[in-house]
Amino acid sequence: MKFRRVPAGYSPKEVQKYVEKLMSENQLHCMQKQRIDELAEENHCLRAQLKKYEEDSQAIAQTLVQARKEAQAIKAEAEKYSQETLRRAKQFYAAWSGAAKTLVAALSDEEVRSLNRLKNKLEGEIASFEGNGQGRTSQPNPVSKVAASAAVIDLEELVRPTESLEELCRSLGLNARSK
């Protein structure tokens, strides 16, 4: 800005206006700089917070992947256990069905009825264990798998068998051993 010359130097009014203008501009620049500094600090804090959230997100994702792997391993182990339990139950059934037929053949009719009542009670207990509409899920368990894959022992059939031991062994895939 150019000042007019007056007899004693520059015009005091113009100089005063110019100084006020400079002070106003300086004050505005200071306020702008302060706001820029505040925004820069806020930006820095937000970037640090974002980095932390990204790290947390990554950790959560890794945890979920690990949890899925562990759940799959647990499920596979449970299935393996279930299959092994089923296999052992089938072996037990095959091994003892002949002996049971012999034992039951020696029982009286009253003893057979008593054992049938016990069998029915046990089947009821198994049914309550499995849930059967009592709010539990109907996921198969080893007991239901054995019941589904093996014939239920009928004591009447054991007393008056329709199959010989050899036929039963053949149907189970077992070779009858001669004594």
Summarize pLDDT for 8-24 with one digit per residue, the tens: 777 778 888 989 999 99
Average pLDDT across the chain, whole number: 76
Name the most confidently modeled range: 48-52, 89-93, 169-173.
48-52
Q: Mean per-residue pLDDT for 151-170?
A: 61
pLDDT, residue 179, reads 40
* Annotated domain spans of the chain: 12-171
**CA separation, residue 76 to residues 58, 72, 73, 83 (Å):** 27, 6, 5, 10
User: What contacts 107, CB < 8 A, 6 or more positions away?
Assistant: 115, 159
The alpha helices in 106-164, defined as continuous H runs, are 109-130, 142-149, 155-159
